[in-house]
Amino acid sequence: DKEVPVPVGIYVVGYDIPIGTYTIICNKGSSYIRVADMYNKTVLSEAVSKGERIGKIDLKYGYTVEICTNPVVFAPYKGLGF
């Protein structure tokens, strides 16, 4: 259950990032995040500012994750917190 900083760059799920369900947190400035499936169809395209998060994203084998502008933090998705 650890949080992992992910630098600006393009990553492949199943190789650079483990398959799984994540929360993505922006801790610095703002960042743009794009997730595409193995056919390059956009699954997620979102800009987030410091303190904002993407609550739940399922990353499947072969997806690409592009982080632009500033690094973000990936954490395992923990549900709604009840």
Greatest C-alpha distance within the chain: 36
Q: What is the pLDDT of residues 15-51, one digit of tens each?
A: 999 999 999 999 989 999 999 999 999 999 999 999 9
Q: Please give the single-letter amino acid code of residue 38.
A: M
Q: d(Cα 7, Cα 45) in Å, to the nearest integer?
A: 17
Q: Which residues contact 22 (CB under 8 A, 6 or more apart)?
A: 56, 57, 59, 74, 75, 76, 77
Query: Looking at residue 81, what is its pLDDT?
Result: 66
